[in-house]
Amino acid sequence: MTDRLTEVTRDELTLDLLDEGPLDGAPVVLLHGFPERATSWRLVAPLLHAQGLRTLAVDQRGHSPRARPRGRRAYAVQEFARDALAVVDAVGGRAHLVGHDWGAATAWVAATLEPQKVATLTALSVPQPEAFMRSWFTSRQGLKSWYMAAFNIPRLPERLARDEGGAMERLLGGGFGMTPEEVARFRREVVEDGALPGGLGWYRGIPFMDRSLLGRRVTVPTTLVWSDRDAAITRAAVDATPRYVDAPYELVVLQGVSHWIPTQAPEAAAEAIIERVLGS
Q: What is the DSSP string of 110-133?
A: HHHH-GGGEEEEEEES---HHHHH
CATH superfamily of 7-142+206-279: Alpha/Beta hydrolase fold, catalytic domain (3.40.50.1820)
Size (the chain), residues = 280
What pLDDT, on the 0 to 100 scale, is given for residue 114?
97
Contact 229, 120 (CB under 8 A): no
Domain ranges of the chain: 7-142+206-279
What pLDDT, on the 0 to 100 scale, is given for residue 93?
86
Tell me which H or E stretch contains 217. Answer: none
What pLDDT, on the 0 to 100 scale, is given for residue 1?
46
What pLDDT, on the 0 to 100 scale, is given for residue 280?
83
Contact 91, 2 (CB under 8 A): yes
Instruction: Report CA Rg, the chain.
Output: 17
What pLDDT, on the 0 to 100 scale, is given for residue 163?
86
Contact 176, 151 (CB under 8 A): no
**Burial status of residue 175 (CB atoms within 10 A of its CB: 0-12, 13-18, 19 or more):** exposed
CA 246 vs CA 56, 96, 119: distances in Å:
27, 17, 14
What pLDDT, on the 0 to 100 scale, is given for residue 16?
98
Amino acid at 93: G
CA 208 vs CA 10, 97, 224, 243: distances in Å:
19, 23, 25, 24
What pLDDT, on the 0 to 100 scale, is given for residue 135?
92
pLDDT, tens digit only, all 280 positions of the chain: 468 999 999 999 999 999 999 999 999 999 999 999 999 999 999 999 999 999 999 999 999 999 999 999 999 999 999 999 999 999 998 999 999 999 999 999 999 999 999 999 999 999 999 999 999 888 999 999 999 999 999 999 999 898 899 999 999 998 899 999 999 999 999 999 999 999 999 999 999 999 998 889 999 999 999 999 999 999 999 999 999 999 999 999 999 999 999 999 999 999 999 999 999 8
The pTM of the whole model exceeds 0.95: yes
* Alpha carbons 25 and 23: distance in angstroms, whole number: 6
